[in-house]
Structure 1
């Protein structure tokens, strides 16, 4: 009987994942069972493949979910992060290994002891970011430590953007993954990190005005803003004594300053609902966040309120997304500001039929060896093929699929709830990713850490 891999959830990030498994299915004797709430959205080539079984599955239906999991040799959950825990509980009960691309939740982490006791592997954070960022970072960190180096600095940045030829709007941005995650990015607490031994905090309302610049040869300049908690991986990465630890998100230069307009207005707020939102015009929505004036237009009020000059490049960006359009109307009923902003942006930032996306990742490693300080930088750029076969789907899906087979074939053996920071995981996956065009370029640069002759940090 073929070995049955259950893939729960068949969204945008699964195209490469499923194709990879199907390409290996004959040789590895696999049956790929794809369970989704709307299986009819799958391509005919997937649905009709002799090595696939497609089932309709509502994850909330416990009996059906448990039956599908019980019949599997291993489970891949590509559901929204909040839904993994029910799948994980079933996997624990039936003794099934589990793979997800999502961050380890508190509930998942609390299962670690039980997972270990059953000698199961619950591999999480094995997509792009988190995922490839962990693996590519640990490969270099372990290499530096092996030759006796002492880690001083680690910075890591990732961005899901558009390929240069598809970069056709003033924001230099289009949605290449879950739009909601973009709209609410950075919320839920201050960004925290450490620079040259000094703890730094950036509250949400200041987050998009504190950026740093990065250069990637052939692709120009990017900016990066801080992720919410850079310190959460300090212990996992073995960087307890590092002076600098900073993780961030990459965008094209100018994006963050413009996005900050939404933050200052309150349009990214997801904590309350606008009861009469359905049918409201984009212009009326914008006016909700501005002072009343019997004479001034919405445009004039916004410029005065946020001190934006009419010839500021930001103004063109706001006009481009139809923020002041009186004819375009909102379809979201009782939406939060964030939900409504998402709807507005999706009309302008959805990938077109000929568009390609782009993934960029950039790491900085500072270390001391034999009394001297060195810095090694590495980066990768991955381009998508089209709006369905995206670079995002490739870099999220391939590591998930590769980890699944390595676990299934007994090549990854360390039990427990974990992330891909160990050599037995990152070594084979990074090696195979190179054959799919996901490879890092490394270059030595002058160490950019603390200079005793500079001003205090």
Structure 2
């Protein structure tokens, strides 16, 4: 390690990751510089392109890269117990820089200006572009104890940004700069208890994405909203986020690692507890079960605070409409995925068609929460992230829709048998099927298309083959909710295998405790067909594979909490169809509408408009965040933000059906990475 020369660091894994030709290509290019580097002792002797590429020389960083420890030391303040006090400047502002900050060393100029003028800085956010065509983005909190000094720093930074962007400079050197409002630390500290806030009720899976979104939006370092904010909004007023749960520990876990968020213990069914906190905030976001919403809504109306929920607007909430209007309060319901994003996508498409004098002839909507293809690794190609009881019950609901002017009704017992195979035109790799989803006709009224649309259809998507298996399981009796005689009593509990034998009416039940365990696939298939539960052997075999995957044939005692076949099935599904820690879920929402235009229109008379949202779960900061939590929590958070910013003017109980809600909400969703892809086909 001592003496002159070049120290060459080799990453040995590269040759195993890249082809031999690629390794030779790298070596051939690098060899062109080796001679110059080996024969030069001083960095000044190197050609300019090598000087600029030289990060360290003589045991120290070269001048062009001295910004690295400066930025790292600044960033380390964030991990101190009190970063604001560590920054210790009276006047502060947030400066955002975008451009080729590092490869063109523009960041050096910015930091030099700050320090030369006697200011200090703290790195808040840094996103480095990964290619020559992608710019980098940095947010730097700049501070000074003298307002005149801070203004001078801002003027100097603005001059550099202007000079970099003027005609004659190469595009790749352009620097974009945005400066936030200047805050006075002394003034802020004197009014810290008056800082506005949004209260989130609940601490389930959906709450964390909502809390993260709102905490980011309510802080000075909100990069996600910058692009949208510049064109659509004035500067967002800072606010804090409060997460309340019946158990303080749950709220604390929800906000762990989220700056600008506070956890409190709050009983949402206790009026005194609600009265303590609701008057201190501007907006309440309830992510509690629907049964809590009426109580919370009444408290919000009493204290004249706006409310957002992601749940369906039921009759109990609708009854509060006049009361909310009289109080000047907005209760925004159905602000999640389905309902929520589905409303907003639909109304955007419908309103755009109506502006062009079009009429909606057909409206078809499909939505699902599924395992990602890689996680769909069981016979049902389906998994649950919570208790499966609700999902199984929904598969037994009746459905009503309109097709070509005819009202179609599907009985709950026949819902699975009504499934139809389906391929999305723009996502043909997904082998799917759809089932009618409850009463589609009400959406014709909500969207104002009942009189013009001959088809109004909403459906639930599943992977192909799901419904046939579920239909067979239902016919076997595995979804029956009545208390079963074998499970009613305090005596010795039957095994899963014995219970299955009872349902399959096995002829020899004397040794049924072990008979199902020993029964081969062919015997089970024979029993299922003999009982008339399905006609084809191939489908019976798929059902048997599902039964065995769930463990319904096993020689294990059924837990005492199971008193019905439904309980037994839910118990095993919750255990065997759960996501592992590294598996992702998937949300798919697709609208397709057929629009007919007047004959005198210069466009083609009929168009098919499609809008699709496809989102997968993410790994964020070491946490596996489900796509379902993202697509429910973030829209709900957006609703709270819009009410906080007074961008929604309608009062009473509303849904996100109006442009004042869906236009900014869809824009923010896209800024957050939840993009709806729209296409038009002319027929």
Q: TM-score, normalised by structure 1?
A: 0.90
Over 3 Å counting, the alpha-carbon distance change for 1:50 and 1:390 in structure 2 is closer
* 1:439 shift after superposition: 1.8
Q: Is the 2:396–2:415 contact (alpha carbons within 8 Å) kept by the matching residues of 1?
A: no
Distance in 2 (CA, whole Å) between partners of 1:445 and 1:325 is: 53
Farther-moved stretch of structure 1 (131-140 vs 205-214): 205-214
Which residue pairs with 2:672 in the alignment?
Answer: 436
* 1:355 shift after superposition: 0.2
Over 3 Å counting, the alpha-carbon distance change for 1:427 and 1:285 in structure 2 is farther
Q: Is the 2:363–2:593 contact (alpha carbons within 8 Å) kept by the matching residues of 1?
A: yes
Over 3 Å counting, the alpha-carbon distance change for 1:41 and 1:282 in structure 2 is farther
| 220, 225, 230: which one aligns with 2:435 | 225
Distance in 2 (CA, whole Å) between partners of 1:78 and 1:345 is: 26
Which residue pairs with 2:613 in the alignment?
Answer: 380
Q: Is residue 2:474 matched to residue 1:263?
A: yes
* Paired residue secondary structure (1:141): helix
| 561, 567, 592: which one aligns with 1:333 | 561
| 186, 205, 214: which one aligns with 1:21 | 214
Over 3 Å counting, the alpha-carbon distance change for 1:2 and 1:223 in structure 2 is same
What CA RMSD, in Å, does the superposition of the two structures yield over aligned residues?
2.5
* Paired residue secondary structure (2:435): strand
Distance in 1 (CA, whole Å) between partners of 2:559 and 2:249 is: 25
* 1:135 shift after superposition: 0.4
Distance in 2 (CA, whole Å) between partners of 1:240 and 1:425 is: 22
Distance in 2 (CA, whole Å) between partners of 1:81 and 1:356 is: 27
Which residue pairs with 1:6 in the alignment?
Answer: 199
Deviations 1:310-356, CA, capped at 9 Å, x for gaps: 543332222212121222x4446254543432221011111111101
* 1:47 shift after superposition: 4.2
Which residue pairs with 1:454 in the alignment?
Answer: none
Q: Is residue 2:536 matched to residue 1:318?
A: no
* Paired residue secondary structure (1:173): coil
| 56, 79, 86: which one aligns with 2:288 | 79
Q: Is the 1:191–1:226 contact (alpha carbons within 8 Å) kept by the matching residues of 2?
A: yes
Deviations 1:11-32, CA, capped at 9 Å, x for gaps: 0112211111111232342222
* 1:87 shift after superposition: 1.1
* 1:413 shift after superposition: 1.3
Deviations 1:147-200, CA, capped at 9 Å, x for gaps: 110111001010101112222222111114553321211445x20011011000
Farther-moved stretch of structure 1 (193-202 vs 340-349): 340-349
Deviations 1:375-406, CA, capped at 9 Å, x for gaps: 22222210111473111111001100011010
Over 3 Å counting, the alpha-carbon distance change for 1:446 and 1:26 in structure 2 is closer
Which residue pairs with 2:329 in the alignment?
Answer: 120
Deviations 1:224-250, CA, capped at 9 Å, x for gaps: 101111111211101112101011111
* Paired residue secondary structure (1:104): coil
Which residue pairs with 1:453 in the alignment?
Answer: none
* 1:61 shift after superposition: 3.2
* 1:374 shift after superposition: 2.6
Q: Is the 2:278–2:284 contact (alpha carbons within 8 Å) kept by the matching residues of 1?
A: yes
Q: How many residues align?
A: 445
Distance in 1 (CA, whole Å) between partners of 2:248 and 2:560 is: 25
Distance in 2 (CA, whole Å) between partners of 1:332 and 1:133 is: 41
Q: Is the 1:171–1:255 contact (alpha carbons within 8 Å) kept by the matching residues of 2?
A: yes
Distance in 2 (CA, whole Å) between partners of 1:160 and 1:265 is: 26
Q: Is the 1:214–1:224 contact (alpha carbons within 8 Å) kept by the matching residues of 2?
A: no
Which residue pairs with 2:500 in the alignment?
Answer: 286
Distance in 2 (CA, whole Å) between partners of 1:160 and 1:284 is: 34
Which residue pairs with 1:365 in the alignment?
Answer: 593
Which residue pairs with 2:340 in the alignment?
Answer: 131
| 347, 367, 372: which one aligns with 1:158 | 367
Over 3 Å counting, the alpha-carbon distance change for 1:113 and 1:268 in structure 2 is farther
Farther-moved stretch of structure 1 (126-135 vs 308-317): 308-317
Over 3 Å counting, the alpha-carbon distance change for 1:266 and 1:416 in structure 2 is farther
| 432, 457, 460: which one aligns with 1:246 | 457
Farther-moved stretch of structure 1 (148-157 vs 432-441): 432-441
Distance in 2 (CA, whole Å) between partners of 1:45 and 1:254 is: 37
Which residue pairs with 2:402 in the alignment?
Answer: 194
Distance in 2 (CA, whole Å) between partners of 1:261 and 1:71 is: 54
Over 3 Å counting, the alpha-carbon distance change for 1:53 and 1:260 in structure 2 is same
* 1:370 shift after superposition: 2.4
Deviations 1:24-52, CA, capped at 9 Å, x for gaps: 23234222221113332456582465532
The structure whose Rg is larger is 2
* Paired residue secondary structure (2:298): helix
Which residue pairs with 2:445 in the alignment?
Answer: 235
Over 3 Å counting, the alpha-carbon distance change for 1:201 and 1:349 in structure 2 is same
| 632, 635, 650: which one aligns with 1:414 | 650
| Structure 2 residues without counterparts, runs of 5 or longer | 1-193, 221-236, 517-523, 600-604
Farther-moved stretch of structure 1 (299-308 vs 173-182): 299-308
* 1:309 shift after superposition: 5.5
Farther-moved stretch of structure 1 (169-178 vs 152-161): 169-178
Greater RCO (CA < 8 Å, at least 6 residues apart)? 1
Distance in 1 (CA, whole Å) between partners of 2:656 and 2:334 is: 7
